[in-house]
Structure 1
Amino acid sequence: MYSKELLKGTIEIIILKLLVEKGSMYGYEITQQVKNLTKGKIVISEGTLYPTLHKLEAIGVLCTEIIHIGRRQRKYYQISEAGKDISASKMQELSSFLHSLNQILDFKLST
């Protein structure tokens, strides 16, 4: 598992990338998808996830839909139209940053 400091700067981008790909997800689903995709190396806690989702919703990057499932309700998040441009911009910025970081550290990136 990676440190919270490394995750802190990328949580928004991770969420946005997943929502761009999946269209609509609920909170727990996001945490599980991240955990599965990274084979447990990145674990997003509820205490990190929900404040980030609420912030992105408040600034208009995400919109929500509440679905009733039996007696429970589930809040699904999706990218707003404005959020699509912001997401693309953040992805480009991260890509450029990783390239610059790699120039300094000279990592041989592998999958």
Structure 2
Amino acid sequence: MIKGTIRREEDGRIVSFEMRGHANAGPYGSDIVCAGVSALTFSTVNGIEALAGIIPIVEIDVADEGYLYFETEEDITQEQSNIAQILLENLVLGLQGIQEEHSDYLNLETVTKK
């Protein structure tokens, strides 16, 4: 199962996300849940870099446990933050859609940073 954690500030802004594990929803190379989650998360990271012009903090370990950690930088402009938030909220919507259809393979949790 893929376990995802979305971290928000008290004001609702997403500051980081973490995805861990493998869906095991099908044979290697044919796992649509893993493919969907990977496409959404990597597209979001790449979009934030390209469209917001910021280099986020990213840690990846795809070989062992299927791990991706993403965190926004704190020293960014309001415009960069707005672009990043739109892309991150879109990521959450996409992941929630996958979770609704494949809850045995994806579990999302949202936590508020205090």
Which range, TM-score by smaller chain?
0.3 to 0.5
TM-score (norm 2): 0.35
User: Comparing both structures, which one devotes a greater share of its residues to helix?
Assistant: 1
User: Comparing both structures, which one devotes a greater share of its residues to strand?
Assistant: 2
**Rg (Cα) greater in structure:** 1
Structure number with greater CO (CA < 8 Å, separation at least 6) is 2
